[in-house]
Amino acid sequence: MADEKASDRPTITCSPNGPFLVRQLERLQNSKGESLPTKATIALCRCGGSSKKPFCDGTHAKIGFSSERQSTKDIHRRKDYVGKSITIHDNRTICSHAGHCTDRLKSVFRLGVEPWIDPDGAGVEAIIETIRQCPSGALSYSIGAVEHRDQDREPMIVISKDGPYYVTGGIEISDASGLQPPSREHYALCRCGASKNKPFCDGSHWSVKFHDEKN
């Protein structure tokens, strides 16, 4: 990736009250692991109403979709959980509630318990492996004074099952608000239209029961 020209790398533009305009993307995949067709510019639905998901069909204009961010929470705000060998950083504002952490390592990521994260609840390697599965960038970790957040991955967008677009590989995103994800390498974009933290997912697809049977 280091030798790749900046002009050849994919980008995402959040069109006001409209779709995500994705340029130069080669890898688009649905939740079944199937590759979907791409071209120089593709328009991905983010109002949740397109009949051609994940692609836009103009429904956003018919339903009066608003891309305005309603949340006032600091997108970079997080809490540190300091353990004996590792510190876990948690940013609830951008969590997409994929459940990888609570499903994979219940001794560390504990639902219904305060504090909900116990950095000494498992071995360091198990914690690292679990955090690396976080698709939204909400979780990262530090060993000593060095923080580990991003990974070395090719640019790609994965359409999660009844959930957001998971972006990896450092795809540059441009929004009229100037908002940037805490992790530039991986983040989750709302596609149900209900997030209060647009353009990023806040887990609202669960509460609105968003469904996309094709992807």
What tokens does 35 get? 């590759």
Q: Give the phi and the psi of residue 163 in degrees, each rounded to 5.
A: -140, -155
Q: Residue ranges of the domains in the chain?
A: 79-148
Q: What is the pLDDT of residue 2?
A: 46
State the Cα–Cα distance between residues 179 and 170, nearest whole angstrom.
15
Q: How confident is the model over 118-135, as pLDDT tens digits?
A: 999 999 999 999 999 999
- The residue assigned the tokens 């001794």 is 107
Confidence check: pLDDT of 4 > 60: no
Residue 1 clears pLDDT 50, i.e. is over it: no
pLDDT band for position 7 (50/70/90)?
Answer: low
Q: Are 155 and 165 in contact (CB under 8 A)?
A: no
* Fold observed for domain 79-148: Alpha-Beta Plaits (3.30.70)
**Whole-prediction pTM value?**
0.94
